[in-house]
Amino acid sequence: MTGAAIAGMGVTFPDPMRQDDVWAGYFERHYNGSPRKGLAKRIFANSGVVSRHGAVNPLFEDASGWSTAQRMSRYLTEALPLGKDAVSSALDSAGLRPDEIGLFVVCSCTGYATPGLDILLARDLGMAPTTQRLFVGHMGCYAALPGLGAASDYVASRGRPAVLLCLELTSLHVQPPSDDPQQIVAHALFSDAAAAIVLVPGGSGACVADVAAVTDTATADLMTWDVTDLGFRMGLSPKVPDVLSIYVSDLVGGLLDRHGLTLSDVDGWAVHPGGPRILDVVRDELVLPETALAESRGTLAAHGNCSSPTVLLILDALRRRAAGPPRTTMMLAFGPGLTLYGVLLR
């Protein structure tokens, strides 16, 4: 068997929004009359987000009263061009045609359509009728990593290229005004993006060396994503970083031990920024220098928490850094379950 190497990446975003403008122009009014308005202002200011992206810009459209049907209709309208741009860019950078792709994996938890994005985008991009497809839904922020694992396994076993697309439009799911701090945190953090990655057999790029996961089902209620009549509602307990702190060291250590590596061998860290405190926990539990998380914090500041595409955005930033791409990269992402996923690239 041959390994699966990264041959190309592509990222795309809806229009940008400044965090301060989103607060002053919409959410400050959204929380008028709430006893937690002061708390909301502090959460927005301390979120680590400077700018973000929205297919639905709350400065121009208030989606908080939209039905789920309205949101799903808008999802398809916005997702198709974003997904097409991201995949086309990734294929161009890999030097491949769409009809050369053997497997197309799509991850998204912010919208549903049947036929799905995998079918509609494969059609619009000109992929072959024989292209295999896999759609991954409702895994949330960590979906990119099991998606990457499935794609790399296909490439290694079949010897054909694969594409992974992660696309989320969280701006569709702004909720009606609420005093719930968890909803305030979600409104302050989440953003929209699409990111695609092309994997090929062999190749000179970073290879997927290993994948690991751990799920603590006893804490399943700490992170939720519920379908309601008014879109999808996020549940995000402040206890999440504490749970992650229990498992992250063992997960990372196990991945490295299997390959005879130590923490000092890792020169690239792509850590999903679920929020500033999660990055702090990873830094402290692994005893990393703050510089190790520069791309993760920078991605949070520039783009917000885009759910599943975010860890791929950080990987893209690592590949473009002035010092050159890392030789050994640890990708970490977290989500419902509570689940931790890690991918080792070499």
Tokens of 50: 């400077």
Q: How far apart are the C-alpha atoms of 305 and 311, rounded to whole Å?
A: 9
DSSP state of 114: S
The continuous run of DSSP H or E covering 195 comes out as: strand 192-201
DSSP state of 265: G
Q: Is 109 a catalytic residue?
A: no
The answer to whether the beta carbons of residues 276 and 284 sit under 8 Å apart is: no
The answer to whether the beta carbons of residues 161 and 141 sit under 8 Å apart is: no
Tokens of 4: 């699966």
Amino acid type, 300:
L
Burial of 217 by CB count in 10 Å (0-12 exposed, 13-18 middle, 19+ buried)? Answer: exposed
∠93-291-281 over CA atoms, to 5°?
105
Q: How far apart are the C-alpha atoms of 190 and 186, rounded to whole Å?
A: 6
**Which of 141, 166, 207, 306 is the catalytic position?**
141
Q: How far apart are the C-alpha atoms of 108 and 124, rounded to whole Å?
A: 18
Q: Which are the catalytic amino acids?
A: 141
